Amino acid sequence: MNGETGPLLSAIRKHGLGRSNLIPILHEIQKEYRYLPEEELRNVAKIMDIPLVDVYGVATFFTSFSLEPKGKHQVTMCMGTACHVRRSESVLAAAKRYLGIEPGQTTEDMLFTLETVNCLGACAMGPIVVIDGKYHGQVTPARVTKLLQDVADAERIPEHAEDRVAAIP
């Protein structure tokens, strides 16, 4: 094993080695990496003495787990009936255009992952967009672009900020 098992060992200390703790342990690992790396799944199987096929079975059964890297910011768009009749397709098109990706993909800079779901359970607020767990209702194409731009702007280092930090005694 390499030195990359920090999140795994931390999760085992927190939850214990029991097989019933597999899901919370996988959640801890995913929280650290934003996905479940293959090497970590192999380490889980080895350390917890669980067949690798069983670990993969859990990791692929639950939609909250991902075997592919995810962006720092999760963007989930509802495409259910109530949102659809309120033009969620045009909101999705604007998000795809702004991000330059399709649903299920992550931007090259690993900043955003775009996903669609069939229902978010807030039909009266449709179209709904969830960004990092925060629900935004009655979203228009212009508003989704603004929301995404605000998140992207918050990630940027202000011009000359690095120079100012370097000048701190």
User: Can you list the domains of the chain with their CATH numbers?
Assistant: 3-61 (no CATH), 73-155 (3.40.30.10)
C-alpha 149/C-alpha 59 separation (Å) is 32
User: pTM of the full predicted structure?
Assistant: 0.73
Write out pLDDT tens, residues 92-135. Answer: 999 999 999 999 999 999 999 999 999 989 999 999 999 999 99
Write out pLDDT tens, residues 123-160. Answer: 999 999 999 999 999 999 999 999 999 999 998 866 65
**Residue 3: predicted pLDDT:** 45
**Residue 167: predicted pLDDT:** 61
Beta bridge partners of 135: 130
Interaxial angle between packed helices 38-48 and 22-33, expressed in degrees from 0 to 180 and rounded to the nearest 10? 150
DSSP-derived letter for residue 48 is: H
Query: Could you count the other beta carbons within 10 Å of the beta carbon of residue 143?
Result: 16
From its phi and psi, is residue 93 left (phi > 0), alpha (psi between -120 and 50) or beta? alpha
Triad 23, 26, 31: Cα angle to 5°: 125
